[in-house]
C-alpha cells in the first residue's frame, strides 16, 4: 500500500507510486485514482486518524489496517466516490492480503459508520489536526499563531496548477482558459489533462508553480550570459533561463532526474548543457550568474505534496541547512566579480531561508544583498521581507475570486559579488 510504504520508508509518495505502478502494471486511469486517494489521505491524515480512533474501541496493531481504513475514509469524506464503492474497495484490498483477509467485516463496519457520521466528522475538524505537532510549534514560533493557522488551513486545500509560457502570456491565458497572474504565470481555472492542452506538444509552456517561477525571474538572465543552475531538476528554472537566451549549465546529482530535465527541454525546444554531478564537487566557471535551488525540507510544497508533512522531521532540517550552507559557499566561489547569485528553497523554515541569507553575508563580505522590489514580482509587496528577500506563503491570496489562490512557500535571496 502506497501510504504505508511512504510512511515506513520516509520517501516521497511520487517515488512509491512510480514503483507501485510499475510493479502492478497499473493503467494510467488506475494509477491516477490510486495517486488521488493517497494524496488526499496524506492531506487529511490527522483528521482521518482522529475520526477513526474515536470510532474504534482499540486501534488495530497492524498499521497497514489503520492505513487501509484511512484511505477508505478519505474516499468517503473527501473524494467523489460512492460510499459503497469505497467500502467494497477497502474490503477487497484486505481480503487480498493474507495478513488482513480476516478484517473484512471489521473494515466494513467501521467505514459504514464513518459514512453515516460524515457531517459530524467534518464539522469537528480543526486545521491543526492535519499538521504534525512539531511543524505547528515551529510555524507558530516563526509566523505567529494567526498567520501559522492560515498556513495550516491552506495546506488542506488542493494546490493550483500554474504554467510558465515562453512568450505572449496574455494570449496563452485566453487560449487555455486560465487567469494571468501579475507575475506572468498562468493559473488554470480547472484541473485537466495537461498533455491534452493546446501548446503542450509544441513546447510552448511548462507546469511551474507561480512562486517557483520567481527565482529565475529575479536572476534577470540576459542573452549570452554563462549561468549555472545548481540542483536543477526537474528543470522549470533551467527552461526559464534558457528561454531568456542564456548559456545554461544545469547541474544535478541525480542522473535519473537530469534525464527528465533533458526530456522536458527537448519538448520545449530549448537547450542547456547538463552535468550529473554533486554541485559541491563542480569545477566550472566562472559564471555571470548562478541560481541555487538548494535541497531542502520542502515544507513549502505541502499543498502539492502533503506526504512531506508526515515523512520529514526536525532533524532533516538541521542536516539540510548544513548542506545549504556548503552549497552557498561553493556557489560564491564559482562567480565572476560582479556576478549575481540567487538562492532559493521551497521551505517555510527560517533555517533554510532567512537565517541562511544572513549567515551567508556574514561569511562572505565580498557579497551584498540586492533587495527584491515590488515591481519585479507583480506588486506583491507583502512577500518582501524587511531585509529585502522574498517569502511567499501557501496562505497568500493572489486571486480573490479563485478558490485555489495560494502559492507554494518559497524563500528567495539575491546577492551580487562586489569584487575583490
pLDDT level of residue 401 (50, 70, 90 thresholds)? low
pLDDT level of residue 9 (50, 70, 90 thresholds)? very high
Residue with cell 559557499: 329
Yes or no: say if 390 and 410 are a contact pair by the CB < 8 Å rule. yes
Cα 260 from Cα 242, distance rounded (Å)? 16
* Residue 340 reports pLDDT greater than 60: yes
pLDDT level of residue 404 (50, 70, 90 thresholds)? low
Give the model's pLDDT for residue 95: 86
Give the model's pLDDT for residue 307: 97
Domain residues of the chain, as ranges? 2-125, 210-417
Confirm or reject CATH 1.10.940.10 for domain 2-125, answering yes or no. yes
Q: What is the mean pLDDT of residues 21-31?
A: 84
What backbone phi and psi angles, to 5 degrees, belong to 380? -80, 65
pLDDT digits (tens, 9 = 90+) for 284-303: 889 999 999 999 999 999 99
* Residue 420 reports pLDDT greater than 80: no
pLDDT digits (tens, 9 = 90+) for 31-85: 888 899 999 999 999 999 999 999 998 888 888 999 999 999 999 999 988 999 9
* Residue 403 reports pLDDT greater than 80: no
Cα 198 from Cα 205, distance rounded (Å)? 10
Q: What is the percent of the chain with per-residue pLDDT over 70, rounded to a whole number?
A: 99
Cα 129 from Cα 152, distance rounded (Å)? 9
Yes or no: say if 396 and 374 are a contact pair by the CB < 8 Å rule. no
In this structure, the number of other CB atoms found within 10 A of the CB of residue 256 comes to 9
Across the chain, what does the average pLDDT equal?
Answer: 93
Cα 58 from Cα 363, distance rounded (Å)? 55
pLDDT digits (tens, 9 = 90+) for 300-317: 999 999 999 999 999 999
Give the model's pLDDT for residue 175: 95
For the record, the C-alpha cell of 215 comes out as: 527565482
Q: What is the mean pLDDT of residues 371-388?
A: 96
What predicted TM-score, i.e. pTM, was given to this entire model? 0.94
* Residue 249 reports pLDDT greater than 70: yes
For the record, the C-alpha cell of 377 comes out as: 514580482
Radius of gyration, alpha carbons of the chain: 23
pLDDT level of residue 97 (50, 70, 90 thresholds)? confident
Q: What is the mean pLDDT of residues 23-32?
A: 84
- Same topology, domains 2-125 and 210-417? Answer is no
Q: SS3 letters for the chain?
A: CHHHHHHHHCCCHHHHHHHHHHHHCCCHHHHHHHHHHHHHHHHCHHHHHHHHHHCCCCCCCCHHHHHHHHHHHHHHHHCCCCHHHHHHHHHHHHHCCCCCHHHHHHHHHHHHHHHHCHHHHHHCCCHHHHCCHHHHHHHHHHHCHHHHHHHHHHCCCCCCCEEEECCCHHHHHHHHCEEECCCCCEEECCCCCHHHCCCCCCCCEEECCCCCCHHHHHHCCCCCCEEEEECCCCCHHHHHHHHCCCEEEEEECCHHHHHHHHHHHHHHCCCCEEEECCHHHCCCCCEEEEEEECCCCCHHHCCCCCCHHHHCCHHHHHHHHHHHHHHHHHHHHCEEEEEEEEEEECCCCHHHCHHHHHHHHHHCCCEEECCCCHHHHCCCHHHECCCCCEEECCCCCCCCCCCCCCCCCEEEEEEEECCC
Cα 349 to Cα 153, 308, 356, 408: the distances in Å are 17, 13, 10, 13
* Residue 402 reports pLDDT greater than 60: no
Class of domain 210-417: alpha beta
pLDDT digits (tens, 9 = 90+) for 110-165: 999 999 999 999 988 788 999 999 999 999 999 999 999 999 999 999 888 999 99
User: Residues with catalytic annotation?
Assistant: 346
Distance of CA 169 to the CA centre of its chain: 23
pLDDT level of residue 351 (50, 70, 90 thresholds)? very high
pLDDT digits (tens, 9 = 90+) for 167-176: 999 999 999 9
From 163, 157, 232, 237, select the one nearest 195 (Cα to Cα): 163
Amino acid at each position: 500500500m502506497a501510504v504505508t510504504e511512504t510512511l515506513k520508508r520516509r520517501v516521497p509518495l511520487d517515488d512509491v507510486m512510480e514503483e507501485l505502478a510499475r510493479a502492478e502494471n497499473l493503467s494510467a486511469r488506475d494509477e491516477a485514482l490510486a495517486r488521488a486517494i493517497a494524496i488526499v489521505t496524506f492531506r487529511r491524515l490527522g483528521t482521518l486518524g482522529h475520526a477513526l480512533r474515536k470510532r474504534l474501541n482499540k486501534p488495530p496493531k497492524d498499521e497497514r489496517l489503520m492505513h487501509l481504513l484511512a484511505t477508505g475514509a478519505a474516499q468517503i469524506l473527501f473524494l467523489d466516490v460512492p460510499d459503497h464503492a469505497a467500502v467494497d474497495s477497502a474490503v477487497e484490498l484486505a481480503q487480498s492480503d493474507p495478513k488482513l483477509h480476516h478484517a473484512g467485516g471489521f473494515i466494513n463496519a467501521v467505514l459504514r459508520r464513518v459514512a453515516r457520521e460524515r457531517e459530524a466528522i467534518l464539522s469537528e475538524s480543526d486545521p491543526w489536526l492535519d499538521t504534525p505537532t512539531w511543524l505547528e510549534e515551529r510555524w507558530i514560533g516563526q509566523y505567529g499563531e494567526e498567520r501559522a493557522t492560515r498556513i495550516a488551513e491552506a495546506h488542506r486545500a488542493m494546490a493550483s496548477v500554474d504554467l510558465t509560457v515562453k512568450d505572449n502570456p496574455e494570449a496563452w491565458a485566453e487560449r487555455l482558459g486560465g487567469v494571468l497572474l501579475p507575475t506572468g504565470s498562468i493559473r488554470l481555472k480547472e484541473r485537466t489533462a495537461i498533455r491534452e492542452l493546446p501548446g503542450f506538444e509544441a513546447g510552448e509552456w511548462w507546469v511551474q508553480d507561480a512562486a517557483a517561477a520567481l527565482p529565475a525571474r529575479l536572476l534577470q538572465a540576459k542573452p549570452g550570459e554563462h549561468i549555472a543552475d545548481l540542483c536543477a531538476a526537474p528543470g522549470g528554472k533551467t527552461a526559464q533561463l534558457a528561454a531568456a537566451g542564456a548559456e545554461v549549465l544545469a547541474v544535478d546529482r541525480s542522473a535519473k532526474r537530469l534525464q527528465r530535465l533533458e526530456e522536458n527541454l527537448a519538448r520545449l525546444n530549448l537547450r542547456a548543457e547538463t552535468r550529473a554531478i554533486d554541485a559541491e564537487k563542480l569545477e566550472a566557471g566562472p559564471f555571470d550568474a548562478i541560481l541555487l535551488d538548494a535541497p531542502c525540507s520542502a515544507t513549502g510544497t505541502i499543498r502539492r505534496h502533503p506526504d512531506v508533512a508526515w515523512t520529514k522531521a526536525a532533524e532533516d532540517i538541521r542536516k539540510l541547512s548544513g548542506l545549504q550552507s556548503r552549497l552557498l559557499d561553493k556557489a560564491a566561489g564559482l562567480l565572476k566579480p560582479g556576478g549575481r547569485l540567487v538562492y532559493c528553497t521551497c521551505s517555510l523554515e527560517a533555517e533554510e531561508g532567512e537565517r541562511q541569507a544572513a549567515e551567508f553575508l556574514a561569511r562572505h563580505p565580498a557579497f551584498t544583498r540586492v533587495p527584491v522590489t515590488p515591481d519585479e514580482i507583480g506588486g506583491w509587496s507583502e512577500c518582501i521581507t524587511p531585509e529585502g528577500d522574498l517569502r511567499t506563503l501557501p496562505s497568500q491570496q493572489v486571486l480573490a475570486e479563485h478558490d485555489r489562490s495560494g502559492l507554494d512557500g518559497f524563500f528567495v535571496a539575491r546577492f551580487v559579488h562586489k569584487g575583490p
